[in-house]
Chain A
Amino acid sequence: MLFNSFEFLIFFPLVCLVYYLLKNNRWRIPFLLVASYYFYMNWKPVYAVLIMTSTVLTYYCGILVEKYADDEPKKKAFLTISLVLNFAILFVFKYFNFINDSVFSLLEMMGLRWNVPNLNILLPVGISFYTFQAVGYSVDVYRGTIKPERNFVVYALFVSFFPQLVAGPIERAKNLIPQFHEEHSLKYEDVIEGLKLMVWGYFMKVCVADMISEYVDAVYNNIGHHNGTSIGLATLLFNFQSYCDFGGYSLIAIGAARVMGFRLMTNFRRPYFSLNIDEFWKRWHISLSSWFLDYVYIPLGGSRVKYPRYLFNLFVTFLICGLWHGADWSYVVWGGVFGLYVVIGKVWRKFVHKPEYKTALSRVLSTVFCFALLVFVSIFFRANTLADAFTVIGQIATNPGPLFVVKSVFVYGFTALAILCFKDTKDEFNWKCNFMHSKHVAVRYISTVLLIAYIILFGSFSGGQFIYFQF
């Protein structure tokens, strides 16, 4: 079920209504679990088995890890079982065909034969998200950061909570599980704040991302028919599309949870205002970058190792992050380029010059430079293949020409983009002008209603998928 579908428009209010009508958590939590599985099973019911498998596995391993807390080898063994089986499921469903094809190509180059057939399976929606969430729980229990959850229903809900099940934010057990034990009464502030977040999320998705995607898709799916100028603009726009698509989804998820009284972690904080790539990853997909920090980078040694090893740790973390995004070499290159950006940035700041961003001009220039780097790397993310990505770079560099224009996209998409830029700039610099959160009642009402009207009047309702669903 998509957040921008008619079904969700019926499903969500119904779930909220029943949730608040139920007396206490004894009924509410099982009800939310059933609702979450129903939400997920709308795609391909059989894949619910995978979530259940991951849930059962991590639940029991968590309990066993605690049981053998004093027996390190056994404790480690149960953690290993949990991690290996979870990643095995992820590997089979997401990476098997990619690895198989890569091995085939490699051996073919060496004149050898490789006859293992590809698996004819669809990628289960959100598998990377819920696997990471469950794995994070296992590691936290092993590290003793949290106690294992004894209530299976609560734990199952933690893994499958519908607002963040398919595309995050990837929640931490210590933040979400305690909230499932609290009784949430219907609070006006929660409902209104949640709804406002959802409205802004929908604006980002249907008015900006889906509108812009018409242009980006038209260009990127026919690279051979477009010149460098059009491809360049499409690449630039893709950055806003991906931000609004995923940022919009996150806001809807956070808002939907908030309506029911749950607080999910912030996932995006105006990422394009970043002064450098380091800062970008503290603002973009925060739940994922902090996951990689806690469960990959730090176990690798983090920064408490020799300097070259520290740089290596950073690079490897980004490489894995790229692979997490998709089973294709273009994602690996995407992660690798990000890794290089970060490593070069660190070396530059240590040995050459450490910018202090004291003047407004230096901050603007750094922001623009950082954005230019992001636009470049996004080519590898959006291009259909790695070969296409290099074609795109070649076209942008060597083949300028008249701009391909889609009038409706330019009119509606750019207007929505201007609204988004104004809002993000206002929030970034704490301008004292509020609309949906104004202290004046009339301004609050009118701005909220106008935004809803704008979404209905100018949004794209062609049922665009969320980009991050494929991960």
Chain B
Amino acid sequence: MIMKTDGFWKKILITCLILVGIDITVGLVADSVLDIMPDYGGQLAKDNYRLHRLETDVVIIGSSRGCHHYVTQQLGDSLDAYFGHHTSVYNAAIAAKIANSNSCAAEAIIARYRPKLVVFDIGEDLLCLDDVSDIEFSAPFYWKDTIVRRYLDDIGFRERLFMKSSLYRYNGKLFNLASCFLAPAAVDDGYEPKFGTNIDTTVVKDKPKVTVPTSELDSYTLNNFETALKKYSSEKVTLVVVCSPHFRPNNNNKRLAAICEKYDIPFLDFYDMPYFNSQPELFYDSRHLNDKGAHIYTAMFFEQLKRFM
């Protein structure tokens, strides 16, 4: 190999060393900010809270459908009346955090304390997605949390390697980190209401019901979900898997029901409820109930929940 080096390797080494220095510095600063992050104010704060600090009697986990569908205050009041004493409830569902992130949260919760009840809002469609971006969102907690670390390491070699870089762990998250300190205090214990409706009722009423073909369940997502169920089953902590109403259901939850049955976990399927999918005014969009729909659904859900308490 003929080469006019001009100190080539030395220069590459210096560049790498500066990069490592920046990586370590960013990691140290961002990690220390993470430690003093408030419990509310954006998704990263909520994720941190549910993974590391949450200790309520009842916890709801799920994606956007979870955080828009369960009215925490209403559910808490119903539980108070039912039990005759105060029952704390927190809606720990986060928008766009789908199956893997929620399986991880479910495991983190049970590893830290024993809640009276955990509600896991999920649909079978989410078990088919091979999307790991939701669990990658928890990357800042990689070194802090062994469960998060296991989830991220299990994605594959690339992720295991990249997670060693602080810059990569905080990729796209500095804004989330900063916004935690700027956001107003959270109200209503995690419930995030949606108001009004975006559904054009004149159009949807004429639309025929469609059924999309069932996809394969994603092995990584399925494995994480089953691990979480197995833990709740063996620890004897009550976990209820729920699929909340959808305005235009286009599939079913047969495989999800079978998985829950396998681990003796109760499954409540509200996915295709004529009461809801005949009333577009209860929905913000085809996947999410609005505040009015959420109140009706929470009451209906509570009636069904009594069976497991």
Residues of A within 8 A of B (CB): 6, 20-21, 185-188, 191-192, 225, 407-408, 411-412, 445-446, 448-450, 452-453, 456-462
For B18, what are the chain A residues with a Cβ–Cβ distance below 8 Å?
A: 445-446, 449
A462 to B23 Cα, complex, angstroms:
21
Binds A, one of B57-65, B166-174, B234-242, B244-252: B166-174
Cβ of A452 and Cβ of B198 under 8 Å apart? no
Instruction: Give the residue name and chain of the A residue nearest to B25 (CB).
Output: A453
Cβ of B158 and Cβ of A6 under 8 Å apart? yes
Question: Smallest CB–CB gap between B133 and chain A, Å?
Answer: 7
For A461, what are the chain B residues with a Cβ–Cβ distance below 8 Å?
A: 171
For A6, what are the chain B residues with a Cβ–Cβ distance below 8 Å?
A: 158
For B176, what are the chain A residues with a Cβ–Cβ distance below 8 Å?
A: 408
Which residues between 1 and 50 of chain B lie within 8 Å of chain A, taking CB atoms? 1-6, 8, 11, 14-15, 18-19, 22-23, 26
Cβ of B167 and Cβ of A408 under 8 Å apart? no
For B22, what are the chain A residues with a Cβ–Cβ distance below 8 Å?
A: 449-450, 453
Complex A-B: 12 CB contacts under 8 Å: A21-B1, A186-B2, A186-B4, A191-B8, A408-B172, A412-B175, A445-B14, A449-B22, A456-B165, A456-B171, A457-B26, A457-B170
For A191, what are the chain B residues with a Cβ–Cβ distance below 8 Å?
A: 8
Known contacts A449-B19, A453-B22, A462-B133; A188/B171 CB under 8 A: no
For A450, what are the chain B residues with a Cβ–Cβ distance below 8 Å?
A: 22
A260 to B171 Cα, complex, angstroms:
31
Question: Smallest CB–CB gap between A207 and chain B, Å?
Answer: 10
**Which among B4, B11, B175 is the interface contact of A408 at CB below 8 angstroms?**
B175
Residues of B within 8 A of A (CB): 1-6, 8, 11, 14-15, 18-19, 22-23, 26, 133, 158, 165, 167-168, 170-172, 174-176, 179, 198
Cβ of A445 and Cβ of B15 under 8 Å apart? yes
Cβ of B175 and Cβ of A411 under 8 Å apart? yes
For A456, what are the chain B residues with a Cβ–Cβ distance below 8 Å?
A: 165, 167-168, 171
A448 to B165 Cα, complex, angstroms:
18
Question: Smallest CB–CB gap between A191 and chain B, Å?
Answer: 7
For A452, what are the chain B residues with a Cβ–Cβ distance below 8 Å?
A: 19
Question: Smallest CB–CB gap between B269 and chain A, Å?
Answer: 29
For A411, what are the chain B residues with a Cβ–Cβ distance below 8 Å?
A: 175
| Interface SS, A side | helix
For A457, what are the chain B residues with a Cβ–Cβ distance below 8 Å?
A: 26, 167, 170-172, 174
Known contacts A188-B8, A225-B198; A20/B1 CB under 8 A: yes
A20 to B8 Cα, complex, angstroms:
15
Question: Smallest CB–CB gap between B160 and chain A, Å?
Answer: 12
A408 to B44 Cα, complex, angstroms:
13
Question: Smallest CB–CB gap between A56 and chain B, Å?
Answer: 33
9 tightest A-B CB contacts, nearest first:
A185-B2, A456-B167, A186-B3, A188-B6, A449-B18, A6-B158, A457-B167, A453-B22, A188-B8
A412 to B18 Cα, complex, angstroms:
23
For A408, what are the chain B residues with a Cβ–Cβ distance below 8 Å?
A: 172, 175-176
Instruction: Give the residue name and chain of the A residue nearest to B285 (CB).
Output: A225
Instruction: Give the residue name and chain of the A residue nearest to B2 (CB).
Output: A185
Cβ of B23 and Cβ of A458 under 8 Å apart? no
For B133, what are the chain A residues with a Cβ–Cβ distance below 8 Å?
A: 462
Instruction: Give the residue name and chain of the B residue nearest to A21 (CB).
Output: B1
For B15, what are the chain A residues with a Cβ–Cβ distance below 8 Å?
A: 445, 448-449
A142 to B179 Cα, complex, angstroms:
64
Known: A192-B8, A192-B11, A448-B15. 11 other contacts (CB 8 A): A6-B158, A188-B4, A188-B6, A188-B8, A191-B8, A411-B175, A449-B15, A452-B19, A453-B167, A456-B165, A460-B172
For B8, what are the chain A residues with a Cβ–Cβ distance below 8 Å?
A: 188, 191-192
A446 to B21 Cα, complex, angstroms:
11
Instruction: Give the residue name and chain of the B residue nearest to A453 (CB).
Output: B22
Question: Smallest CB–CB gap between B24 and chain A, Å?
Answer: 11
Question: Smallest CB–CB gap between A340 and chain B, Å?
Answer: 37
For B14, what are the chain A residues with a Cβ–Cβ distance below 8 Å?
A: 445
Question: Smallest CB–CB gap between B185 and chain A, Å?
Answer: 19
Question: Smallest CB–CB gap between B204 and chain A, Å?
Answer: 13
Known contacts A188-B5, A188-B8; A453/B19 CB under 8 A: yes
Known contacts A21-B1, A449-B18, A449-B22; A458/B6 CB under 8 A: no
A274 to B237 Cα, complex, angstroms:
67
For A225, what are the chain B residues with a Cβ–Cβ distance below 8 Å?
A: 198
Instruction: Give the residue name and chain of the A residue nearest to B167 (CB).
Output: A456
A411 to B179 Cα, complex, angstroms:
11
For B158, what are the chain A residues with a Cβ–Cβ distance below 8 Å?
A: 6
For B165, what are the chain A residues with a Cβ–Cβ distance below 8 Å?
A: 456
A352 to B15 Cα, complex, angstroms:
57
For A449, what are the chain B residues with a Cβ–Cβ distance below 8 Å?
A: 15, 18-19, 22
For A187, what are the chain B residues with a Cβ–Cβ distance below 8 Å?
A: 3-4
